[in-house]
Amino acid sequence: MLITRLLSLIPIAAAVLVENAFVNELFLQSIGHLNSMSFVDNCGMIGASSTSVVRLNVSNDNYIDWQVESPFRDSKNTHTFLSANFNDLYVYSPDSDYVYMYKSSNGVLTAKFRLNGSPKQLLQFFHNQVLILDSSGITWVLKDGNAIKLPVDTAKSLAFWHMNGSGQLYVDSRKRYVIDDNGNISQNMDVSVQGEIIDGRGVSLLTNKLWYHVGNKHKLAIDSILGTGDYAVGIAKSVTKFYDQKGKVVNVIATQGDVSIVEHQLSEYLVDFRGDNAKVYDLTDFILDGEPSSIKETIINFPSEVDTKNAHYGVSSSSYGPVMIVYEEGRICTYLLQTGKMIFHFQLNSSLARAFIIIDRAASKAALEKEHDLLEDASGSLLLSRWVHRVKRHLTELGEFVISQLQRGGQGAFTPIESGMDKLLVYINSHSNSVTAISTMDGKPAWHYTIDSMPDGIYVSKGNVMVTSRNQIWTFTSEGELIDHNEFKFDNARQVYDEVVFKRGDKYQIYGNSTAEYYYVDHDESEVWGVKRDSKTWKFGIEGHKVLKVSGHASGAASATVGIPTHDRGLLYKYLNPNVVAVITGCEEGMSLFLLDGVNGQLLFTQTNTKDKVDFNSVKVVVKDNFVIYSYAVIAPKVEQRLVVVDLFDSEKGSSRSENEQISEFTFDVSPQHFSTKSFIYPERILDLEVTTTKYGITLRSIIIVTATGQLVELPKYILNSRRIDNRQLKQEDILGDYGMTPYEPVIAKNSYSVLNHKIPLNVITTNHSLVIKPTNYESSSVFCYANEQNIFCGLTQPSASFDLLGYRFDKQKLVATIVVILIAYVGVKPFVANKKLNQNWVDKRA
């Protein structure tokens, strides 16, 4: 009694244990396809992609410092702009009127500015302020978290530079303002220059037509003025010319590639990107003396693994001095311009993939042999022959052990029983046309294969990996060996248990097995139908209803318990029909759940919700064991995330169908005799859900949900139990029946302990994601992976706590040592005890 009381105190659904967090899990992030890169401090780089703004730590340990979702989620052109002291990061997009300001050190949003139009031009303005021209022509100064309108004419373009403590602002090349750092205008005058002002330094002004220098103007092809404005540079296709203030050519260099000019404090550099390398010209001394001989040259050679054709090049100033950044898919190399040496090399996936599967690793040869031997042990007919076989096997094992001990010097022992915890997560990458398998334990690539066309689907076919593209199919073993590659035309493919069913026109086919006898359920927007081999057998559809989701049992859904034992020693039999198919339809009035028998199309159960307006895109459904769980978001009259559980039973009360009843295959009613259902509310939006499976189905099941804030939450099935009592007090009988019975509470309380990804929020913004679960060889645990383009999180879930796994604290050596010490003590003490006993017998007890 006491023991049961004590046991009941132990919660079954274990939390993330301190010792397992960050250790027994895998978390991979991608940085996205960055479209700009700049340095912020010694080891921090900031970049923006269409989905996020990231800060990377590019020092020796490559990692992501912070990553915030881009405020312009739908924009492909998210730009970043750093303040002069690198502390503030401005993020803007030509598609929005807003400018967001972040702290560059930690990614905290500090301000948000609203302009009259989208930002067109951003310029540095005095002490770390920013000058912005928006598309409506208004010029703004961003200062102390406010956007202040400058009282200047509306403009199409701005040119601004500092001179002698004040600012020179040219508006549309026709008006010049002298501004102080508070935005006060002290002078404004009309200017008459030809062309559009591009640049200005001191007494030098450059338009796209002329270069003005003090009183002179030169009509030269000039792209940039240098230093204080006394020299200028003109970049042509294959030559770059330097001019002095009189417009005279002082130097000519031959350039081959894209040429750009970089400024860093008082230094200036000209960089010529030439494909495999870049030539850097240090112009710092030339600006001062105008001597061509003072230009220093350096060559930067890019490593061979950089795909120079597709790489982006950028130059930026940093605290190390000016640097060149070369980045391509997930690889960023940084070179110091002064010396041409590489200072940082950062590598991280730029994007993962959209389609993922999880497969078992191939069993090792030793494990296969052992299994084979064990089978032989058990199947031999004669007792004696079995014994001989067993002895032979043990002797061989001993021999192998001794040899391995001698060879490896004590390392290695018997073949470890394969735990099955290390699965392979296989994904296709449509950017690089490749198939990659990684370990779910440490993320190490197991194999990688590049195919010659863009893959569009990945499936499991009899334990092998099947990759499809438009009209080709590749099959790989779990070890990455290509075993089949064929042309195959199909319209769509779908995973069914461990097979892939292809559809072409009205024909269905299991690849590589045209004679298989099978039933299949397919659907379109308005109908669901059953197929036997190749012919339609039944169809189901309701006028005005749209089919939203169709789901059946997944493979590997072993169930060890056939029913729920009740308090009166009865058994409430579960309805375990493997052919149950859940169909969710939606219409204007609401949504409905239909449970059908997939073989004969019989309608087993119906449930309709007409009271609420439902977001049809949010509907998710799983079928497992004897239950169906579906989730949907209600958007009116109140916003609520619902989770509905339907449990199906073979009888209403806790007893079997009448034992004496003769059951005939022809008269047997396959429909469930009883069902119970409950609806729950989860306080967060649910994006996906899946049910855990274990090898034998003994372990309690949990439902893993993916929430909008990036959490993977494990909800034990006993919480999502439709038999929880809601109309009366809980009785002793109820507690003796269902496991973990509690009174019904409509709102599921959020429990931070059951967040499987604990402190690491996942990026869940994409719709193309996968939540996959695979049982391990231990009954208590299964491996789960959540994966999308941006991140992968894999871990181990143990819904009933681990009962067949040793904890990390288990010390085998200490245990063996203790046993040995006790044994020695026993052997050592034995003669003393014997002596004492003998002495006792000889002592005269009467004395």
Partner 1 sequence: MVASVASAATVHGRVDNVPEDIVEYHQQRNIVVANDANYPSRISLEVFEIGKPEPSLVPVFGDYSFTIEDLKPGNYSMLINSYDFALNQARLRIDVDEDDSVEVYPDDYVLGTNITAAVAGTSEDPVVLSVISVKNFYETPKGSLMGLIMNSPLGPVFKNKWLSGIFIASLSMLLAPKLLEIFAPEVAKSIKEAQEEVNRERQQEREAKLARKAQQAKK
Two tokens, residue 401: 């052990």
The nearer residue to partner 1, 182 or 610, going by C-beta atoms, is: 610
Residue type, 62: N
Least Cβ distance, residue 106 to partner 1 (angstroms): 5
- The sign of the dihedral angle between the CA atoms of 369, 375, 379, 385 is positive
For residue 108, state whether it binds partner 1 (rule: CB under 8 A). Answer: yes
Among 97, 422, 527, 684, binds partner 1 (CB under 8 A): 684
Residue with tokens 């396809």: 33
For residue 755, state whether it binds partner 1 (rule: CB under 8 A). Answer: yes
Among 187, 683, 816, 835, binds partner 1 (CB under 8 A): 683
* Nearest Cα to Cα of residue 426 among 469, 459, 468: 459
Least Cβ distance, residue 98 to partner 1 (angstroms): 10
The nearer residue to partner 1, 112 or 248, going by C-beta atoms, is: 112
- The sign of the dihedral angle between the CA atoms of 665, 671, 676, 678 is positive
Q: Rounded distance, CA 443 to CA 465, Å? A: 18
Two tokens, residue 131: 């000058």
Least Cβ distance, residue 150 to partner 1 (angstroms): 24
For residue 809, state whether it binds partner 1 (rule: CB under 8 A). Answer: yes
Least Cβ distance, residue 154 to partner 1 (angstroms): 24
For residue 28, state whether it binds partner 1 (rule: CB under 8 A). Answer: no
State CA 731 to chain mean position distance: 45
3-state secondary structure at position 798: coil
Contact letters (x/-) for partner 1, 637-656, by CB under 8 A? xxxx----------------
The nearer residue to partner 1, 181 or 612, going by C-beta atoms, is: 612
Q: Rounded distance, CA 786 to CA 27, Å? A: 10
For residue 369, state whether it binds partner 1 (rule: CB under 8 A). Answer: no
Q: What is the DSSP letter of 747?
A: B
Q: Rounded distance, CA 525 to CA 527, Å? A: 6
Least Cβ distance, residue 758 to partner 1 (angstroms): 4
The nearer residue to partner 1, 12 or 295, going by C-beta atoms, is: 12
3-state secondary structure at position 397: helix
The nearer residue to partner 1, 370 or 758, going by C-beta atoms, is: 758
From the number of C-beta atoms within 10 Å of its C-beta (0-12, 13-18, 19+), residue 107 rates as middle
Which helix H or strand E contains 564, and what residues bound it? strand 563-565
Phi, psi of 392 (to 5 degrees): -60, -45
For residue 615, state whether it binds partner 1 (rule: CB under 8 A). Answer: yes
Least Cβ distance, residue 78 to partner 1 (angstroms): 15
Q: Rounded distance, CA 606 to CA 535, Å? A: 26
3-state secondary structure at position 404: helix
Please spell the DSSP secondary structure of 568-625, one letter per residue.
TS-EEEB---TTEEEEEEEETTEEEEEEEETTT--EEEEEEE-SSEEEEEEEEEEEET
Among 107, 117, 321, 330, binds partner 1 (CB under 8 A): 107
Two tokens, residue 392: 């032979």
* Nearest Cα to Cα of residue 47 among 67, 28, 74: 67
User: Which residues ranging from 383 to 412 are in contact with partner 1 (CB under 8 A)?
Assistant: none
Two tokens, residue 487: 């042309």
Least Cβ distance, residue 636 to partner 1 (angstroms): 4
Which helix H or strand E contains 289, and what residues bound it? helix 284-289
Least Cβ distance, residue 116 to partner 1 (angstroms): 15
Among 25, 26, 29, 508, binds partner 1 (CB under 8 A): 29
171: number of Cβ within 10 Å: 24
Among 8, 22, 414, 454, binds partner 1 (CB under 8 A): 22
3-state secondary structure at position 213: strand
For residue 12, state whether it binds partner 1 (rule: CB under 8 A). Answer: no
User: Which residues ranging from 575 to 614 are in contact with partner 1 (CB under 8 A)?
Assistant: 613
The nearer residue to partner 1, 152 or 332, going by C-beta atoms, is: 332
Cis preceding-peptide flag for 637 (omega within 30 of 0) = yes
Residue with tokens 């003025």: 225
For residue 17, state whether it binds partner 1 (rule: CB under 8 A). Answer: yes
- Relative to beta strand 535-540, strand 231-235 is unpaired
Least Cβ distance, residue 709 to partner 1 (angstroms): 5
Least Cβ distance, residue 362 to partner 1 (angstroms): 32
Contact letters (x/-) for partner 1, 697-716, by CB under 8 A? ----------xxxxx-----
For residue 636, state whether it binds partner 1 (rule: CB under 8 A). Answer: yes
Contact letters (x/-) for partner 1, 45-84, by CB under 8 A? ------------x---x-xxxxxxx-x-------------
Q: What is the DSSP letter of 370?
A: H
Among 151, 412, 544, 746, binds partner 1 (CB under 8 A): 746
Q: Rounded distance, CA 842 to CA 847, Å? A: 12
Least Cβ distance, residue 806 to partner 1 (angstroms): 12
The nearer residue to partner 1, 176 or 769, going by C-beta atoms, is: 769
3-state secondary structure at position 209: coil
Least Cβ distance, residue 757 to partner 1 (angstroms): 9
Among 8, 154, 526, 752, binds partner 1 (CB under 8 A): 752
Q: How many residues bind partner 1 (CB under 8 A)?
A: 60
Q: Rounded distance, CA 819 to CA 816, Å? A: 5
- Mark the segment that binds partner 1 (CB under 8 A) among 9-17, 153-161, 238-246, 502-510: 9-17
Among 176, 279, 423, 685, binds partner 1 (CB under 8 A): 685
* Nearest Cα to Cα of residue 521 among 460, 458, 578, 606: 578
For residue 799, state whether it binds partner 1 (rule: CB under 8 A). Answer: no
Q: Rounded distance, CA 9 to CA 135, Å? A: 66
Contact letters (x/-) for partner 1, 110-129, by CB under 8 A? xxx-----------------
Q: Rounded distance, CA 161 to CA 166, Å? A: 9
3-state secondary structure at position 105: coil
Q: Rounded distance, CA 838 to CA 825, Å? A: 20
For residue 815, state whether it binds partner 1 (rule: CB under 8 A). Answer: no
Contact letters (x/-) for partner 1, 522-551, by CB under 8 A? ------------------------------
The nearer residue to partner 1, 80 or 707, going by C-beta atoms, is: 707
Q: Rounded distance, CA 718 to CA 699, Å? A: 12
- Mark the segment that binds partner 1 (CB under 8 A) among 13-21, 299-307, 564-572, 830-838: 13-21
For residue 803, state whether it binds partner 1 (rule: CB under 8 A). Answer: no
Angle, CA 785 vertex, CA 784 and CA 789 arms, to 5°: 170
- Relative to beta strand 146-149, strand 158-163 is unpaired
Least Cβ distance, residue 825 to partner 1 (angstroms): 19
Two tokens, residue 132: 């912005």
Give me the count of residues in the chain: 847
- Mark the segment that binds partner 1 (CB under 8 A) among 176-184, 302-310, 599-607, 756-764: 756-764
For residue 696, state whether it binds partner 1 (rule: CB under 8 A). Answer: no
Residue type, 307: D
- Mark the segment that binds partner 1 (CB under 8 A) among 212-220, 543-551, 668-676, 682-690: 682-690
Least Cβ distance, residue 64 to partner 1 (angstroms): 5
The nearer residue to partner 1, 109 or 366, going by C-beta atoms, is: 109
- Relative to beta strand 499-504, strand 119-125 is unpaired
Contact letters (x/-) for partner 1, 293-332, by CB under 8 A? ----------------------------------------
**Which positions touch partner 1 (CB under 8 A)?**
10, 14-19, 21-22, 29, 57, 61, 63-69, 71, 100, 103, 106-112, 613, 615, 617-618, 633, 635-640, 681, 683-685, 707-711, 746-747, 752-753, 755, 758-761, 807, 809
